[in-house]
Amino acid sequence: MTESLNDSIKTPNDKVAMAFFRSLRWVNGVYCPQCKSYNIVNRGQQGRVRRYSCKECGSNFNDFTGTIFHKSRMPMGMMLYVLFNMDDKTITQLSEETGYSRQCISRLTHLFKEKLINNLEFYSDEDGA
């Protein structure tokens, strides 16, 4: 039996990665992405995401609603591996290591660059420099 490449790479545990994501996403508590109310009900977990309902506007949402991860099926640990290695490795290398297609890895790295890294809205100039 041969070891696949993605068995040999070190990715964060998906439960730990999801806990990390939730701690960033809901830093001030879970709120409705539609009406911004904190008056929500936890509807349990479906797969890796927690589901919620808003008592104010009635909308249903989950941990990924309104984020760049909302359509992704890739485990969060694997997405973090790509994020942390995309500057040091090529798309082909990441594709071979993870077992995901070049197209999938390319789309993910493009999203990370467009929405996170190159988005000045997320960077503040606190010291006025």
pLDDT band at 9 (very low <50, low <70, confident <90, very high): confident
Residue ranges covered by each domain of the chain: 12-67, 68-120
pLDDT at residue 70 greater than cutoff 70: yes
pLDDT at residue 76 greater than cutoff 80: yes
Q: Distances in Å between the alpha carbon of 71 and those of 26, 47, 58, 89?
A: 19, 14, 22, 24
pLDDT over 70 percentage in the chain: 84
The 10s digit of each residue's pLDDT in 12-38 is: 788 898 999 999 999 999 999 999 999
User: Domain 12-67 class?
Assistant: mainly beta
What is the pLDDT at residue 116?
75
Exposure b/e, 53-91, CB count within 10 A at least 16 = b: ebeeeeeebbbbbeeebeebebbbbbbbbbeebbeebeb
What is the pLDDT at residue 14?
87
